[in-house]
Amino acid sequence: MKTLKLIYFNTVFYTLFLSFSMFSIPILSLSVIFLGLFSSHRNTMKRFRRAINWYGNVVIRVLPFPFVRFRYKDYARNKGRGPYIFVCNHRSSSDPFLIGCLPYELIQIVNTWPFRLPVLGIFARWAGYLNVKRMQFKEFSCKTIELLRQGVSIVAFPEGTRSRNKKIGQFHSSIFRVALQAQCPIVPICISGNENIPPRGSLLLHPGIIKMHKLTGLEWEQYKDLGPFKLKNKVRDIIASELAAMEGGHERFISLS
């Protein structure tokens, strides 16, 4: 019975996913291109990145429903307009889609594999997603700071790769060095429940509940005296602590002070 349910869910999801993608990607692209004829390159990019967010949002929240339910909580005390550096834990290839629920113009820092995805990889490149494996730190830093200066928020998965279990991996310090230079707020994002949606090395989605918590950001004034090593571990501890609370069955508010 469980296997049948799994087959049914995946058949329905992937049929909807392909149909929706074939329909929405050309329409969204043409709309952005058409509106781009009457507006600046900057506004066109803004619209393009928002369209990607909207697409990701539908793919992960609407198409797999009711087999997969998504619960998003925003714990931020002050809801500014950004830009921010969002730092997320990384357990599943569905993480980049989940990020679509953040109401900001954003780009993601990714590995090489998302750029190899058919169609989506091309859009990631056009949107200005940064391939951290393909650039030296100096180039990465310059490009990221320029995007932040334009008002574009950055999403980073500093574990670098999807964790093989629920344990959070060591963080890479690149994005924290950029945050220190750019004096940009760092917002921790905790994602739980999508370890099997889909599991590492598979495309098979399993039913479940995905929780995503956006925590209060660390302002530059709060972290400016920390070195990158201490800063990355502080943010890692905040995320690990929230994940433990989310997965321990009780939710709690984390103080960042």
Partner 1 sequence: MDKQEIIDKINQVFEKSFEIEKGKLQPQANIFEDLGLDSLDVVDLVVVLQQKFGIKIRDDQRIRNIRTLEDIYKFILILKDEGKNTVN
Residue ranges that bind partner 1, judged by CB under 8 A: 137, 170-174, 177, 227-230, 232-233
Question: What letter does residue 173 receive in the DSSP assignment?
Answer: S
Rounded-to-integer distance, Cα 216 and Cα 205, Å = 31
User: Are the CB atoms for 204 and 185 separated by under 8 Å?
Assistant: no
CB-based burial label for 129 (10 Å; 0-12, 13-18, 19+): buried
Neighbours of 167 (CB within 10 A): 8
- Give me the least distance between CB of 111 and partner 1, in Å please: 15
- Give me the least distance between CB of 223 and partner 1, in Å please: 14
Q: Which is nearer to partner 1, 178 or 187 (CB)?
A: 178
Q: Which is nearer to partner 1, 3 or 136 (CB)?
A: 136
Q: Which is nearer to partner 1, 178 or 205 (CB)?
A: 178
User: Are the CB atoms for 69 and 209 separated by under 8 Å?
Assistant: yes
| CA 88 remoteness from chain centre | 7
Q: Which is nearer to partner 1, 41 or 138 (CB)?
A: 138
Question: How many CA atoms, within 13 angstroms, populate the side-chain half-sphere of residue 70?
Answer: 22
Q: Which is nearer to partner 1, 76 or 240 (CB)?
A: 240
Question: How many CA atoms, within 13 angstroms, populate the side-chain half-sphere of residue 96?
Answer: 18
Question: How many CA atoms, within 13 angstroms, populate the side-chain half-sphere of residue 145?
Answer: 15
- Give me the least distance between CB of 170 and partner 1, in Å please: 4
- Give me the least distance between CB of 240 and partner 1, in Å please: 12
Q: Which is nearer to partner 1, 65 or 137 (CB)?
A: 137
- Give me the least distance between CB of 174 and partner 1, in Å please: 6
SS3 75: coil
- Give me the least distance between CB of 133 and partner 1, in Å please: 12
